[in-house]
Amino acid sequence: MNIALIAHDAKKKLMQNFCIAYRGVLSKNELYATGTTGRLVEEVTNLSVHKFLAGHLGGEQQIGAAIEHNEIDLVIFLRDPLTQKSHEPDVGNVMHLCDVHNIPVATNLASAELLIKSLDRGDLEWREMYK
């Protein structure tokens, strides 16, 4: 499975901790991330992450394009709901594309843990039909 990782600045440390905790599951999959998030995840996990541009420089749009081309199977987007982002339209675009293309998406730690545990159990194998 191809997993996209995105985290707002206030959630980057949480993303690192999440990836440390679920390193075993994540290591069995291909990881994609916006630039800074990808670098931070690589630093703490030693996992290989394909890094797009930083989110505010177009990385979220690049992930959106990958979603449109059916190259992403799962999105973990740890959002900061308390701080307004200057690039908020890109955030909405990723969410919209996940809805349009039926991509499971987590926007907080609770939903991220549910999805990663489902992935580990094999509950997301239906995504293979889309390829």
- Tens digit of each residue's pLDDT (9 = 90 or more) over 65-111: 999 999 999 999 999 888 766 654 456 789 999 999 999 999 999 99
CATH of the domain at 85: 3.40.50.1380
Per-residue tokens: 70: 């059916």
- Cα distances from 26 to residues 23, 87, 105, in angstroms, run 5, 28, 15
Residue type, 2: N
User: What CA–CA distance (Å, rounded) separates 17 from 44?
Assistant: 8
115 pLDDT band (50/70/90 cuts)? very high
Query: Mean pLDDT lowest for which of 43-57, 61-75, 116-130?
Result: 116-130
Q: From 5, 130, 102, 12, select the one nearest 62 (Cα to Cα).
A: 5
Q: Is the pTM of this model over 0.85?
A: yes
Per-residue tokens: 104: 């499971």
Q: Where are the alpha helices (DSSP H) in 5-108?
A: 12-21, 23-26, 35-45, 59-68, 88-100
pLDDT of residue 118: 96
Question: What's the structural domain count of the chain?
Answer: 1
Domain extent for 32: 2-130
